[in-house]
């Protein structure tokens, strides 16, 4: 097993070769700066290992790649490793957020469980602080997979600034909580509404609090 230093010695990455594959594991301190990506470096290039996700108060990354793939990218045998800030937590960009919201470039860091952090993916979301905790709003479209699917029963779909978002409420520690009644900031659509109703933007108040059936997405 080989071990490489990350972040000036504050983190590390290990590589273990077995059966023509390389098992990589890495850790960084949770500094709140944003979303980090990890790379395995060789004499001819580097290979992207993935995104560090919060777990037990640290940022962790695990990935297994074939040695052939690493060789094609010039990263085998390894000579080092790198962790780079891919998205800053405070960086602006994109459409102007609705009033009371701001863009969160790394929503995974807000999640209270590794499963939810992985489900949040590497995309960004809208973030709104609230007395009970916070809400995250992910861009929503019928042509794409429903965002943060493990929590679809907690979601409501709102139209804000002309765009649809799936809004998820959380307690301050990143655990999901049941949504309140629709806020006045945007037009709300029950998450289990039919596609025909969604296209016409007509709220289905009777279904707004019922669980969502994933088959409808």
- Please report which residue ranges of the chain form alpha helices under DSSP H: 67-72, 114-120, 195-200
Q: 24-33, 80-89, 164-173, 178-187: lowest mean pLDDT where?
A: 178-187
Instruction: Assign 18 to helix, strand or coil.
Output: strand
Closest CA to 168 of 127, 117, 115: 127
Chain segment 48-65, per-residue pLDDT in tens: 998 888 888 889 999 999
Domain ranges, ordered by start, for the chain = 2-88, 102-216
Widest distance between CA atoms in the chain: 62
- Whole-prediction pTM value? 0.47
Give the residue from 143, 147, 105 showing the smallest Cα distance to 127.
105
Residues 6+ apart with CB under 8 A from 140: 146, 147, 157, 164, 165, 166
Average confidence score pLDDT of the chain: 80
Phi then psi dihedrals of residue 67, to 5 deg: -65, -35
* pLDDT per residue as tens digits for the range 113-170: 888 988 887 778 999 999 999 999 998 877 777 888 889 889 999 988 878 899 999 9
Contacts for 104 with CB less than 8 Å, ≥ 6 apart:
89, 110, 124, 125, 126, 127, 136
Q: What is the pLDDT of residue 181?
A: 52
Cα–Cα distance for residue pair 167/176, rounded to 1 Å:
11
For residues 167-177, average pLDDT: 93
Residues in a beta bridge with 39: 48, 82
Query: Residue written as tokens 């890495």?
Result: 26
Given a contact cutoff of 8 angstroms between Cβ atoms, the answer to whether 138 and 168 are in contact is yes
């Amino acid at each position: 097993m080989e071990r490489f230093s990350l972040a000036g010695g504050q983190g590390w990455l290990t590589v273990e070769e077995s059966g023509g594959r390389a098992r990589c594991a890495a850790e960084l301190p949770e500094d709140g700066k944003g979303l980090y990506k990890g790379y395995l470096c060789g004499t001819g290039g580097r290979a992207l290992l993935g995104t560090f996700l919060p777990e037990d108060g640290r940022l962790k990354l695990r990935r297994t790649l074939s040695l052939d793939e690493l060789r094609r990218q010039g990263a085998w045998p390894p000579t080092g490793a790198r962790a780079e800030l891919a998205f800053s937590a405070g960086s602006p960009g994109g459409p102007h957020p609705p009033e009371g919201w701001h863009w969160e470039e790394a929503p995974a860091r807000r999640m209270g469980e590794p499963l939810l952090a992985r489900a949040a993916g590497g995309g960004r979301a809208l973030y709104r602080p609230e007395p009970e905790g916070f809400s995250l709003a992910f861009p929503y479209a019928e042509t794409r997979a429903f965002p943060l699917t493990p929590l679809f029963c907690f979601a409501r779909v709102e139209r804000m600034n002309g765009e649809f978002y799936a809004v998820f409420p959380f307690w301050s520690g990143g655990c999901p909580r049941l949504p309140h009644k629709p806020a006045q900031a945007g037009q709300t659509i029950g998450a289990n509404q039919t596609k025909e109703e969604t296209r016409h933007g007509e709220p289905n108040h009777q279904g707004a609090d019922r669980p969502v059936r994933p088959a409808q997405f």
